[in-house]
């Protein structure tokens, strides 16, 4: 299963920063994560950027057991 890395608010919502989640595409991985981590996590996913192995990705991007899917929420600063 691909590794899902979570940062900032999505990490807090999920209660973890790293998990193995089933799926053969980014969309499948994110759907399984929404199911696993519930509504507060699911609300954040649409505003996040998704990266696979350090490259920008979308829902149709294929993933394997060797891949890392990273979910990065928007960051504010000042």
Its pTM surpasses 0.85: yes
pLDDT tens-digit map of 14-65: 999 999 999 999 999 999 999 999 999 999 999 999 999 999 999 999 999 9
Residue 50: left (phi > 0), alpha (psi -120 to 50), or beta? beta
Q: Please report the domains of the chain, with CATH numbers, ordered by start residue.
A: 3-72 (3.10.20.30)
pLDDT tens-digit map of 60-78: 999 999 999 999 998 766 5
Spatial contact of 47 and 74, defined as CB atoms under 8 Å apart:
yes
Q: How confident is the model at residue 3 (pLDDT cuts 50, 70, 90)?
A: very high
User: Which tokens in the block code for residue 10?
Assistant: 């999505």
């Amino acid at each position: 299963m691909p590794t899902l890395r979570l940062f900032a608010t999505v990490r807090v919502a999920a209660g973890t920063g790293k998990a193995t989640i089933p799926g053969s595409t980014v969309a499948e991985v994110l759907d399984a994560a929404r199911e696993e981590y519930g509504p507060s996590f699911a609300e954040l996913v649409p505003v996040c950027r998704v990266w696979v192995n350090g490259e920008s990705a979308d829902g149709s991007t294929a993933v394997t057991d060797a891949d890392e899917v990273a979910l990065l929420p928007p960051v504010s600063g000042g």
